[in-house]
Structure 1
Amino acid sequence: MAMENIGLTPSTLVFIVLGLTLAAFMWGRFRYDLVALTALLGSVMLGLVPSESAFMGFGHPAVITVAAVLVISRGFERSGVVDIIANQVLKVGERLLLQLLVLVGTVVVLSGVMNNVGALALLLPVAMRLAREHNTSPSLLLMPLAFGSLLGGLTTLIGTPPNIIISAYRGSVTGESFGMFSFSPVGIVVALVGLVFIVLVGWRLTPARSGQASTDEMFDTANYLVELKVPEASKANGLTLQQLRDELEETIPILAVVRDDDRRAGYNFHSVLQEGDILLLEAGPDELKLLEDKVGLSVVAEPEEDPEEENEAANRDQLNEQSGSDKKAAKPVDTEGLQLIEAVVRSDSRMVNRSVRQLRLHHQFGLHLVAVARDGGRLKQRLKDIRFQTGDVLLLQGSENEISESLSSLGCLPLANRELHLGQPRKLAMSIGIFALAIVAMLFDLLPAAVAMSTAALISLLIGVLPLREGYQAIDGPVIVLLAAMLPVGEALETSGGAAIIASGLLKFGVEWPIIVSLAGLFILSMLLSNVVNNAAAALLMAPIAASLASGFEVSLDPFLMVVAVSASCAFLTPIGHQSNTLVLGPGGYRFGDYWKLGLPLSLVVLVVAIPMILFIWPL
């Protein structure tokens, strides 16, 4: 269908495509990479993007650089840096201000030299442990930590995808890209001011959720663990655990089997059940009733209590009332030694919108799901019915030797382990050395950023800093597809004249005002966009608008591009604007409306500091 026949200009069609794309991003029903790919293919079919250049974005230097930085960041994660940081950070004591200063300051520094989500992933377990050891609400630490990772990304070229995108765009327009530390003068000042604001004022604006995510009270595992005995007449007698699950048509996790005082973990028990076996499992009242009715398992009776213990017994769960059984309530059992770990579902996890059965969690990954928490509270529905969401906190059981790899494959971030230590190879010095050589090559213009970072990633894989399979897993597929698909669409916004139309409207609005007002308007528009769509997409869409605006004012392009770079990374208002915000949603027990309480004042602080600094470093 020719565009002339329907009376629509290329710019109008671009606006329609982008409008639908942004609406789909905000709706959230479909993943952002699928939305971006749909926008690209739609643009090709409408003649906005030439078919021969539709997939050129996959080879774009910005996309290659982002992929390489993700691999290098994963190498840092595996090199033992988290242990070194944890040992130092955990020494700060119980003063909350000092904890915030060290945690947020560390993540700011790390985010400048590695992917900011990776930096947050390193420090999230450390923050959780600090909260537990000092009986602090994790909500007071996690949102400042997430926002600190965004601020740290402002400081260098590789700190965040918007910087890489803006640098590449400048290269395509002027022939010279921004360097590794071109963003540092402005970014460091903004990050330091943001850090001071968060530590002194901002944390007071975050809600203090007591007993929230990833505290022992969230799952309170012992209160849900029960011992069930296999009687002689039980249908379970003679069945394997898998046959028992098939009989129940349930995914009730059996944590351990006790036979003759010998306890074996459920994932490692392959024999058939015998009379007298004790099953240690996590179950609620409905599951207990199901186990009794379907397979005849009976709750292990408690021994007679001494008078001094009667008050303690009165506080136990009323299982006999809730399950309709007259049997005595099951006693809490010792959980020591069970291989339990808590993990949060990342936004790029394969678990999102899928159930335990669809994932084949036990058969394929060797993991038992024990419990799920969402929005700071434990989900009470049956485990088989739960469809996982980004930010869910999971309590899992698995083999100590395999659980780290399983979590990585699933796209889950371990929060804090119980009786479990995830060993990682200590190759920190080698990782830092490779990274430093890449930085030197970039500083002296020996290699372009994409080539230098790719070389560093390749060497890391070749010398074993990072296993090859994990290197591929480190490359965030949805982000790569998003960038590669939106690059041609962003170019279409420029070539169709759409960016010039938007810039013309902004010029008319700002013609009677100083240019700094237009820069502020550009900042606010880009910042709002980054809070509802991916920050990389915001940078891709706003860069050509910034260029047209600079051309209209007949001033330097650089301050306008710097405004977009900073503002696109300031997604402080919602949990969906950036993966860092989403990652702390569940563990912190936050609600959607909690973010703007700290995010809005922090955004205003960044706006007030960034624009004068940009004009000072990059004059018009």
Structure 2
Amino acid sequence: MPNLESTVVLAVVVAAMGLFISGKLRVDLIALCVLTALVVLRLIEPGQALYGFASPATATVAAMFVLSAGLVRTGLVQWLARRLDRLAGKSETRLVLVLCAAIAVLSAFIVNTATVAIFIPVAAVLARARRIAPSRVLMPLSFASQFGGVCTLIGTSTNILVNSIAVDAGLAGFGLFEFARLGILMSVFGIVYLVIATRWLLPRREGEIEQVDKYRLADYLAELLVEKTSSLIGKTWVESEAGTDRELTLIKLIRGGDATWRPLRTKLEAEDILVLHGDVEKLMALADQYGLTMKTDVTMRDQEISSDELKLIETVIPPRSSLVGRTLRDAGFFRRYGGVVLALQRRGRVLRERLGDIQLDGGDTLLVQGGREDVSRLMRSPDLIVTNELTELYLRKDRAVYALLLLLAVVVLAVTNAVPIFVAALIGAVGMVLSGCLRMEEAYRAIDWRVIFLLGGILPLGLALEETGAAAWLANATLGPFVRFGPVAVLAVIYIVTAILTETMSNNAAAILLAPIALSAATSINVDPRPFLVAITFAASTSFATPVGYQTNTMIYAPGGYRFSDYTRVGGPLNVVFWGLAVLLIPLLWPL
């Protein structure tokens, strides 16, 4: 039985895991709560409370965010993505192969959420140009970005984190390309699997190419004819009492067969047709009250609510957007962008009512109707990813060269062991600002502070697990029964447990919780702990079976029109394949 201190630490672990899995609180807030509990309960010394924030892993992760942002902001990554059109040919198989290979290579050095954000609209446009449903290419894109992330030490924050834990435990750190041997093999197997899976397992939802179908808008759209006796004649929509109802939106005004340029501020005339968005009961009441006739012979398509001047734009809220946790009303969405939000899709569920009061989350997709200037504002915003339009390519050639040279410098410094990895990353980050690739304000915005506070708050929990003996007790209780089958069996269990936890909670948190247990298990059976840490790194950095297990999976959920079951059907077998490859290859590449 564990002692009192170990029992209390285990209680904190259980509470933290429950909060992570429930998703009721932000991961960074949970980490800070854990840190506070550890200090208040005297499970760590006050001086150790800053262990996570002072860790080289935390500094390296922050520096890599800045380095990645420099490569993105100069237009280099976007320029490379646009060059794929010629290589992709005309077939679906070749398109998937080219997209997967390209994003895997880029994700080995650049934060994969940034690369996926750039590739989503590129992949969707390339797919539609070949009459291929985006659902056939976006899931392979997300999965391949994870393949690339495990090929280098700087590919994901989890790789950097586990390496720091290994060094703190007195082990030799991993080299920059030490994971590449296994990572490249897994990437090849993974891409071949995706090319095959695309044919039989991925959905082909051509019927939902229309946004009206995808967002189930038909029941919330209506055309109303302005009768000669209507009280709205001579008034603009914003001047009328009808225009004050927040649950009804005028999205188009048709006069003489043509859409007017400023529907909200055009004085209404008899025979005008109003295209309105709102609840059907509200629309019927409006028609009765203001002398309008609802047209019943209209089939709503995208063209009915768009025109040369008005466009339908689909935007994804990325995980690091400032809109996350706020409502459209609080964020002043209309004031900032000018467009009208017609619907919101969250993990396959379409929301259309009281949109202004819904708290936004990363991965939410908004269907926005707006004019050309509104579309331009949406496309320039760092808080949104426009999925059905390509932004104007802006390549800063001189700065792009500096950014590329800085990345190469970081790689050379790390490979030659001239300086520690976090120093190399810091040199690259500072160089991005000094060379003009980024402004200092852009560097601050590039850092995902949620990840930094997650690491700063949760790393001391790993320290507490180790110092109180809770890690050793957990290792004996959970892995002890498998010891008699040999160290490979223990490695297999560590990998699968990490993979399962990663599907339900933060991958960094899963790695931090399991690394001390793996170290204790290795010590108890007298084997090298590094293979166990490699297993945790790969399992925590590759999550395919759910849309919530990894941020890139969430980002492509709505643009691809996926359902939860699509991830399980395609990603579940891929998780099993990677588990088998890991159990087979890790003991060969890192002998136990």
Tell me the TM-score normalized by structure 1. Answer: 0.83
Q: More deviation in 509-518 or 50-59?
A: 50-59
Q: More deviation in 91-100 or 112-121?
A: 91-100
Q: How does 1:528-567 map to 2 (within 5 A)?
A: 528-567=500-539
Alignment pair present for 1:509 and 2:509:
no
The whole-number CA distance in structure 2 between the counterparts of 1:251 and 1:434 is 52
The whole-number CA distance in structure 2 between the counterparts of 1:527 and 1:375 is 21
Q: Unpaired segments of 5 or more residues in structure 1?
A: 1-6, 302-312, 319-330
What per-residue deviation string (whole Å, max 9, x for no partner) do you get for residues 21-79 of structure 1? 11111111212221121111111111112223323322322112222222222333333
Q: Choose the corresponding residue for 2:133, options 106, 131, 137.
A: 137
Aligned identity (percent) is: 32
Q: More deviation in 162-171 or 87-96?
A: 87-96
Q: How does 1:314-463 map to 2 (within 5 A)?
A: 314=297, 316=299, 332=304, 335-338=307-310, 340-352=312-324, 354-376=326-348, 379-384=351-356, 386-397=358-369, 411-417=383-389, 421-427=391-397, 428-463=400-435
Q: More deviation in 479-488 or 343-352?
A: 343-352
1:247 to partner: Cα distance: 2.5
Which residue is equivalent to 1:34? 29
1:519 to partner: Cα distance: 0.8
Q: More deviation in 161-170 or 604-613?
A: 604-613
The SS at the match of 1:163 is helix
The whole-number CA distance in structure 2 between the counterparts of 1:137 and 1:399 is 26
The 3 A distance-change label for structure 1 pair 408 and 14 is farther
Q: Choose the corresponding residue for 1:47, options 39, 42, 49.
A: 42
What per-residue deviation string (whole Å, max 9, x for no partner) do you get for residues 385-434 of structure 1? 544444332122557678677677673322122xx744434343332122
The SS at the match of 1:178 is coil
The 3 A distance-change label for structure 1 pair 244 and 452 is farther
The whole-number CA distance in structure 1 between the counterparts of 2:86 and 2:367 is 24
Which residue is equivalent to 2:4? 9
Q: Choose the corresponding residue for 1:63, options 54, 58, 64.
A: 58
The whole-number CA distance in structure 2 between the counterparts of 1:23 and 1:536 is 15
Which residue is equivalent to 1:304? none
Query: What RMSD over aligned residues (CA atoms) do the two structures have, in Å?
Result: 3.6
- What letter is aligned with 1:32? V
The 3 A distance-change label for structure 1 pair 378 and 566 is closer
Whether the 8 Å contact between 2:472 and 2:521 is mirrored in structure 1 is: yes
What per-residue deviation string (whole Å, max 9, x for no partner) do you get for residues 532-567 of structure 1? 111111111111111111111212222121111111
Whether the 8 Å contact between 2:365 and 2:558 is mirrored in structure 1 is: yes
- What letter is aligned with 1:413? I
1:501 to partner: Cα distance: 1.0
Q: More deviation in 361-370 or 184-193?
A: 361-370
Which residue is equivalent to 2:194? 198
The whole-number CA distance in structure 1 between the counterparts of 2:364 and 2:208 is 13
- Number of residue pairs the alignment of both structures matches: 584
Which residue is equivalent to 2:244? 247
Whether the 8 Å contact between 1:157 and 1:163 is mirrored in structure 2 is: yes
The whole-number CA distance in structure 1 between the counterparts of 2:427 and 2:129 is 41
Whether the 8 Å contact between 2:348 and 2:561 is mirrored in structure 1 is: yes
The whole-number CA distance in structure 2 between the counterparts of 1:65 and 1:404 is 35
Q: Unpaired segments of 5 or more residues in structure 2?
A: none
The 3 A distance-change label for structure 1 pair 300 and 466 is farther
The whole-number CA distance in structure 1 between the counterparts of 2:419 and 2:70 is 21
The whole-number CA distance in structure 2 between the counterparts of 1:262 and 1:341 is 18
Which residue is equivalent to 1:113? 109
The whole-number CA distance in structure 2 between the counterparts of 1:40 and 1:404 is 43
Which residue is equivalent to 1:79? 74
1:524 to partner: Cα distance: 0.9
Which residue is equivalent to 1:161? 157
Which residue is equivalent to 1:97? 93
Q: Choose the corresponding residue for 1:148, options 129, 134, 144.
A: 144
The whole-number CA distance in structure 1 between the counterparts of 2:464 and 2:195 is 43
Whether the 8 Å contact between 1:213 and 1:376 is mirrored in structure 2 is: no
- What letter is aligned with 2:38? S
The 3 A distance-change label for structure 1 pair 65 and 297 is farther
- What letter is aligned with 2:119? L
The SS at the match of 2:547 is coil
The SS at the match of 1:113 is coil
The 3 A distance-change label for structure 1 pair 111 and 213 is farther
Alignment pair present for 1:283 and 2:277:
yes
- What letter is aligned with 2:74? S
Whether the 8 Å contact between 2:215 and 2:350 is mirrored in structure 1 is: yes
1:279 to partner: Cα distance: 9.1
- What letter is aligned with 1:316? T
What per-residue deviation string (whole Å, max 9, x for no partner) do you get for residues 203-234 of structure 1? 62333334347857425989958688799985
The 3 A distance-change label for structure 1 pair 256 and 547 is farther
1:314 to partner: Cα distance: 4.7
Which residue is equivalent to 1:170? 166
The 3 A distance-change label for structure 1 pair 215 and 523 is same
What per-residue deviation string (whole Å, max 9, x for no partner) do you get for residues 347-376 of structure 1? 344444543222221124444323333455
The 3 A distance-change label for structure 1 pair 171 and 509 is same
Whether the 8 Å contact between 2:223 and 2:276 is mirrored in structure 1 is: yes
The SS at the match of 2:316 is strand
Which residue is equivalent to 1:310? none
The 3 A distance-change label for structure 1 pair 317 and 619 is closer
- What letter is aligned with 1:426? R
The 3 A distance-change label for structure 1 pair 407 and 11 is farther
